[in-house]
Structure 1
Amino acid sequence: MPSIQLLTLIAAFLVTSIISVITGSTSLITVPVMLQTGIEPRTALATNMMALTFMSIGATLPFLKQKTINLSRLPLLILLTLVGSGLGAALLLFVPSKVLPQLVSVFMIAIVIFSLLNHRAGVISKGHPSKIKKFMGYVATLILGIYGGFFSGGYVTMLTAAYVGLFQMTYVEAIATTKLVNIFSSLFATCLFTLSGIIDYPLGIVLSITMFVGGIIGSKIALKLNNLWLRRIFLVTVIILAIKTMMA
């Protein structure tokens, strides 16, 4: 790969990883950039998944240090995520990924509508969710895990919204939790892609280091912002990405 293209990818992945710690939807930006450099679609998706794993690790470390994550739910969330991610990664080998962007845009618009109608959601802690909401939160984790293992574009965004709406987390709690959960989703999918031999490892290593650093920077910024500002940034980005995806 020419050095100018590599530098372009590094810059795009660094900036995107910093911002997407809060917003999610990393792959809706990084994968198209990879495709524009001539990388084969499945290789782009698989190599991007490898880099996402390291971004999630980097982003999780500051949140763990600040004890922002509720660890009691994690075992079941991780189990459901692993099952879903495995199913989703397997689907990538058989289902064309071109059908997904329009679905993602519809889901994102739904997220915006829900968030505007529930303006306190994620800003003020509402305590413990009901049993029905908690159950739906676990169901959403499984379903979105399938999607995340398959494509990942918009996965963390939708998961963040689900945790705010169903588990009644604040935005900073939801952002922190989804980053930890996404480590397992991305890692499991990456292992399956490794067996399929579709990862560009030299490029993947460079982009993984880049996104690891970006993840640390992004999470430190998120910890300094209050939940109201996190909500504003989240919603504005979701609206922009939804429009961009529909027009693609």
Structure 2
Amino acid sequence: MSLFEAAAILLAGLAAGTINTVVGSGTLITFPTLLAFGVPPVTANVSNTVGLVPGSISGAIGYRRELTGQRRRILKLSLASLIGGVVGAVLLLVLPAGAFEAVVPALILIGCVLVLFQPRISAWVARRHEAAGGLPEDGAWWVWPLVLLAGVYGGYFGAAQGVLLMAVMGIGIDETLQRLNGTKNVLAALVNGVSALIFIVVADVDWAVAGLIAAGAIIGGQVGATWGRKLPAVGLRAFIVLVGVVALVFFLF
């Protein structure tokens, strides 16, 4: 690995850590960077997942203020993310490389549409639950299984996992987007973490690459937490949709 390649991977990790903390999809920066430098796709995916774990933890710590009062909700949804992450990581190791190519763009598109129309859909969901006394603290019943499915996707590849999580929680949980973003960072860290543990045991990790991504992502996590919480709800929603569209274009073309 040349000095230029090392610097590029470090910077890609910083950018990915920043974007992951604000919304997700940082993999769209690091993964193509690794492929451009000749890292085999599966090794790149595995090493990228391992490297982004410290950045996810950094972002979750950066959003600790928004996590106050969400202990019960996070514990409940964490189980879904852990199960999903394990399933997704196993699928990556046993399925053909292109198995999710047709599904991923559709998931990202659905996530973008849900985030874009989240206020209207959330209001409709709230009205549906008013007769029963409003939404439960942990959200509608379908939030947990959809968070699990997002975890499966995150364990398999991960790009735009944050878009899907924010779409599901933003509609099904009566909470501000910034506080849900803090929850999203915890869930994403768990998915990445459990996937990374599996990859470390059974897959080929390029530790030089993973270390450079981790160093950049840790810094990026704090940068993302600093700037992400300053975005108003409309701005955060617009940024989520923008990142989702970029991810969709990446997968389609």
Same fold at TM > 0.5: yes
What is the RMSD computed on CA atoms of the aligned residues?
Answer: 2.4
2:217 counterpart of 1:211? yes
Given the two structures, how large is their TM-score scaled by the length of structure 2?
0.87
Equivalence map 1:226-241=2 (5 Å) = 226-241=232-247
Q: Secondary structure of the residue that 2:158 maps to in structure 1? A: coil
Structure 1 residues 66 and 171, CA, compared in 2 at 3 Å: closer, same or farther?
Answer: closer
Q: Secondary structure of the residue that 1:97 maps to in structure 2? A: coil
Structure 1 residues 237 and 153, CA, compared in 2 at 3 Å: closer, same or farther?
Answer: closer
Q: What is the CA–CA distance in structure 2 between the aligned matches of 1:216 and 1:69, rounded to whole Å?
A: 21
Match of 2:155 in 1: 149
Any stretches of 5+ residues in structure 1 without a counterpart?
none
User: CA deviation digits over 1:120-173, x for unaligned, max 9?
Assistant: 5689xx796359962210001111111211111222221111111122332212
Q: What is the CA–CA distance in structure 2 between the aligned matches of 1:129 and 1:3, rounded to whole Å?
A: 53
Q: CA deviation at 1:20?
A: 3.1
Match of 2:86 in 1: 86
Q: What is the CA–CA distance in structure 2 between the aligned matches of 1:131 and 1:59, rounded to whole Å?
A: 24
Q: What is the CA–CA distance in structure 1 between the aligned matches of 2:216 and 2:137, rounded to whole Å?
A: 40
Residue pair 2:17, 2:56 contacting (<8 A) in 1 also: no
2:201 counterpart of 1:195? yes
Matched to 2:235, the amino acid is W
Q: What is the CA–CA distance in structure 2 between the aligned matches of 1:77 and 1:137, rounded to whole Å?
A: 8
Any stretches of 5+ residues in structure 2 without a counterpart?
none
Structure 1 residues 162 and 235, CA, compared in 2 at 3 Å: closer, same or farther?
Answer: same
Q: What is the CA–CA distance in structure 2 between the aligned matches of 1:132 and 1:56, rounded to whole Å?
A: 22
Q: CA deviation at 1:29?
A: 2.7
Q: CA deviation at 1:104?
A: 2.1
User: CA deviation digits over 1:58-117, x for unaligned, max 9?
Assistant: 111121145456222112211121111111111111112333344222122222323333
Kindly, what percent of the aligned residue pairs are identical?
22
Residue pair 2:112, 2:167 contacting (<8 A) in 1 also: no
Matched to 1:186, the amino acid is N
Match of 2:74 in 1: 74
Match of 2:106 in 1: 106
Post-superposition, which runs of at least 4 consecutive aligned residues in structure 1 deviate over 3 A? 65-69, 115-123, 130-133
Matched to 2:18, the amino acid is I
Q: CA deviation at 1:34?
A: 0.9
Residue pair 2:50, 2:196 contacting (<8 A) in 1 also: yes
Match of 2:143 in 1: 137
Is the deviation greater in 100-109 or in 221-230? 100-109
2:5 counterpart of 1:5? yes
Matched to 2:89, the amino acid is A
Q: What is the CA–CA distance in structure 2 between the aligned matches of 1:132 and 1:16, rounded to whole Å?
A: 29
Q: Secondary structure of the residue that 2:94 maps to in structure 1? A: coil
Q: What is the CA–CA distance in structure 1 between the aligned matches of 2:83 and 2:67, rounded to whole Å?
A: 26
Residue pair 1:122, 1:227 contacting (<8 A) in 2 also: no
Q: What is the CA–CA distance in structure 1 between the aligned matches of 2:64 and 2:122, rounded to whole Å?
A: 19
Matched to 2:202, the amino acid is S
Aligned pair partner of 2:228 in 222, 225, 231: 222
Residue pair 2:112, 2:241 contacting (<8 A) in 1 also: yes
Number of aligned pairs? 245
Match of 1:42 in 2: 42
